[in-house]
């Protein structure tokens, strides 16, 4: 039986240590960014802005000289007995122990998004018949006698074969007939395209905090879609007791008041999807954010519309923004949706911007995500 051992060469060990260090630093950066995704300096960062992230220095295990701390292992005692903590120095005295090393990593917005979005995915993305021309996939998978790109390996192989036939199995004396070139072919690739319908409750019951959390959730949602998938269209819908389509700027800035009728938003989203985004050609994702206040008599109709959406949609995601420190309450929309037990419906809860990342991971879970062809 063959035994495979890890290489113990210093160079291999150095590469392994460097890789582990990079992974640990990347985890620290990711943890910091996820805890700060609601902060102004990240949200308002433009392409040219740099974001500074503090990172703890990683200590390497090593032998150190005795620092003169006598008494270790001396005197009476029993196995397993702990030692009392030693008193520290007086306030203001300079210390002699090594401190924690901190340094800053400077990232641009593209790097921030790459780290943040590595854990997210668009669930159950499936190939659809595209209404547009399919993209061409170029593959260099053949060898030819003519072409612009010399294949060095194939050329040397051909030279060796020719010399071997002449009785000298060696490489040398390359002639024109030895030259081989990389050849490519274009194969049509189906586009995987998706439409995401973002619905937001902007009624009077949504206070400043609820609207802030809602807009923050959609800000990162839109950034994620546009980075990960080049063929994604986003539709913005606001609703009070009636629903209306908005452009992106209005969606994130418009102020409304009035009552709440959630079914109006799902009904408008259904109309938009049927008219402009047929399920035969589009992966359909429907998202909704609200504080959960809805007319009790409207909840059954909303549940029915959610079921109808899921007949064609890949996912319906609902984020309910609860009062700070409180979970879902009886009579909320989430209670009605959860009681309905609709397959494919994903419900998340958040009360402030610290819980946005958890909501994003719940709705855009990577587990079981189908491989998407971004075109």
By DSSP bridging, strand 50-56 and strand 102-108 are antiparallel
Q: Identify the CATH homologous superfamily for domain 194-363.
A: von Willebrand factor, type A domain (3.40.50.410)
* Beta bridge pairs of residue 183: 142
Over the stretch 4-63, which tens digit does the pLDDT of each residue have? Answer: 444 445 555 666 666 665 566 566 666 655 666 656 555 555 555 555 555 555 555 566
Nearest to 372 by CA among 188, 125, 136, 195: 125
pTM above 0.85, yes or no: no
Q: Does 302 score more than 70 pLDDT?
A: yes
Spatial distance between the Cα atoms of 347 and 350, rounded to a whole number of angstroms: 10
List, for residues 117-126, the tens digit of each pLDDT value.
Answer: 777 877 666 6
Residues 188-238: tens digit of each pLDDT: 555 667 899 999 999 988 988 999 899 989 988 888 888 776 678 999 999
- 245: which strand partners? 237
Supply the pLDDT for residue 277.
94
213's enclosing H/E stretch is: helix 208-228
Distances (CA, A) of 73 to 69, 70, 299: 11, 9, 71
Name which of 56, 49, 54, 55 is nearest 113 in CA terms.
49
Do the beta carbons of residue 49 and residue 55 sit within 8 Å? Answer: no
Q: Domain extents for the chain?
A: 11-58+102-118, 136-188, 194-363
Element (H, E) at 6: none
Cβ distance 337 to 347 under 8 Å? yes
């Amino acid at each position: 039986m063959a035994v495979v051992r890890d290489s113990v060469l210093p160079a291999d060990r150095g590469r392994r240590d460097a890789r582990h260090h990079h992974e640990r630093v990347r985890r620290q950066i990711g943890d910091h960014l996820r805890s700060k995704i609601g902060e102004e300096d990240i949200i308002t960062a433009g392409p040219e802005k740099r974001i500074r992230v503090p990172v703890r220095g990683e200590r390497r295990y090593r032998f150190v000289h005795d620092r003169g701390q006598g008494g270790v292992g001396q005197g009476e005692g029993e196995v397993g007995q702990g030692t009392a903590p030693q008193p520290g120095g007086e306030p203001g005295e300079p210390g002699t122990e090594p401190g924690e090393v901190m340094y800053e990593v400077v990232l641009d917005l593209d790097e921030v998004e790459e780290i943040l979005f590595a854990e997210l995915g668009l669930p159950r993305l499936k190939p659809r018949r595209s209404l547009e021309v399919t993209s061409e996939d170029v593959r260099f998978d053949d060898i030819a006698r003519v072409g612009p790109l010399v294949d060095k390996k194939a050329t040397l192989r051909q030279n060796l074969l020719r010399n071997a036939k002449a009785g000298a199995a060696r490489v040398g004396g390359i002639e024109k007939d030895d030259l081989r070139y990389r050849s490519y072919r274009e194969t049509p690739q189906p586009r995987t395209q998706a439409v995401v319908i973002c619905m937001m409750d902007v009624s009077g019951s949504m206070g400043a905090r609820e609207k802030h959390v809602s807009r923050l959730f959609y800000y990162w949602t839109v950034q994620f879609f546009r980075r990960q998938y080049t063929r994604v269209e986003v539709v913005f819908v606001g609703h009070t007791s009636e629903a209306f389509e908005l452009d992106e700027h209005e969606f994130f800035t418009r102020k409304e008041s009035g009552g709440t009728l959630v079914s109006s938003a799902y009904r408008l989203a259904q109309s938009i999807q049927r008219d402009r985004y047929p399920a035969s050609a589009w992966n359909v994702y429907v998202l909704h954010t609200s504080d959960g206040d809805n007319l009790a008599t409207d909840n059954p109709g909303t549940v029915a519309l959610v079921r109808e959406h899921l007949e064609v949609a890949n996912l319906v995601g609902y984020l309910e923004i609860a009062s700070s420190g409180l979970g879902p309450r009886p009579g909320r929309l989430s209670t009605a949706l959860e009681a309905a037990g609709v397959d494919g419906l994903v419900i998340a809860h958040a009360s402030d911007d610290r819980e946005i990342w958890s909501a994003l991971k719940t709705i855009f879970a990577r587990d079981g995500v189908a491989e998407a062809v971004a075109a």
